[in-house]
């Protein structure tokens, strides 16, 4: 484990040296860098001799901080800190779920560094469409929302601060200024991110080099062996 600058917000990350561009894995909401997709991509990168980095956002995994103090903007800045302080040269961003939103923000903010994007069930703007009006009202009036998680025995907590930060960083109301090759991988059985949203995301990306790969029997995790193989193929695609 290594810590990335800036020192006032240290981040835990694992870096695998190799040839560039460096592949940077961005986890989803309430996830960390030890997920199966991140580890499988790291193992593949090591076999291929490719540079790879996985990291934990502040308040997640091995990075210090309280989870409920975090916002989307802070996590976006964590991703930018990794690009600015832990990686040299061009990068390919691989974003899972919420990581797909942060991937797009980082690509917009560092166009000179990002040369390719792979979104895995990407969830940009989910603070807008991912909650009912009643759930949004709960966050606004009570400061936090707890929902049962299908992926953990602990409930998923979303704070008013995170929700407000997400609303301030929505992307899909206009053309997203990304001009690099993009691959979007989306399960059609995903109950968290409707596949129609990913099809729409492809249409608002400015790049002409965008492909959407629909997995008819795929769910939100996309972590089966055949899903991992598709993700690795997508990474090879944008690098090529």
Q: Could you give the residue numbers annotated as active site? A: 97, 190, 220
Q: Nearest Cα to 240, choosing from 116, 144, 140? A: 116
Tally Cβ neighbours within 10 Å of residue 94: 30
Secondary structure (3-state) at 154 = coil
| CA 218 from centre of chain | 18
Q: Nearest Cα to 181, choosing from 213, 210, 205? A: 210
Which tokens go with 20? 């560039």
Q: Contact, 90 vs 19, CB < 8 A?
A: no
**What are the b/e assignments for 187-219, b being 16+ CB within 10 Å?**
beebebbebebbeebbeebebeebebbebeebb
Q: Contact, 25 vs 79, CB < 8 A?
A: no
**What are the b/e assignments for 25-49, b being 16+ CB within 10 Å?**
bbbbbbbbbebebbebbbebbeebe
CA distance 213 to 112: 26
């Amino acid at each position: 484990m290594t810590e990335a600058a800036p020192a006032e917000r240290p981040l835990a990350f694992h870096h695998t040296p190799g040839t560039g561009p460096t592949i940077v894995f961005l986890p989803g909401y309430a996830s960390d860098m030890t997920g199966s997709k991140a580890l499988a991509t790291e193992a593949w990168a090591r076999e291929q001799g490719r540079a790879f980095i996985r990291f934990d956002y502040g308040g997640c995994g091995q990075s210090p901080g309280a989870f409920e103090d975090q916002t989307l903007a802070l996590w976006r800045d964590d991703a930018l800190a990794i690009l600015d302080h832990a990686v040299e040269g061009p990068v390919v961003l691989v974003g899972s779920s919420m990581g797909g939103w942060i991937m797009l923000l980082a690509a917009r903010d560092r166009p000179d560094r990002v040369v390719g994007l792979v979104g895995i069930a990407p969830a940009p703007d989910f603070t807008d469409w991912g909650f009912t009006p009643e759930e949004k009202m709960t966050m606004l009036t009570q400061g936090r929302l707890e929902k049962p998680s299908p992926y953990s025995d602990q409930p998923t907590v979303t704070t008013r601060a995170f929700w407000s930060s997400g609303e301030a960083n929505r992307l899909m109301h206009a053309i997203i200024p990304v001009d690099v090759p993009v691959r979007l991988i989306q399960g059609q059985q995903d109950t968290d991110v409707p596949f129609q949203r990913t099809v729409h995301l492809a249409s608002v990306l400015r790049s002409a080099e965008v492909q959407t790969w629909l997995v008819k029997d795929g769910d939100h995790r996309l972590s089966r062996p055949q899903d991992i193989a598709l993700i690795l193929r997508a990474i090879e695609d944008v690098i090529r």
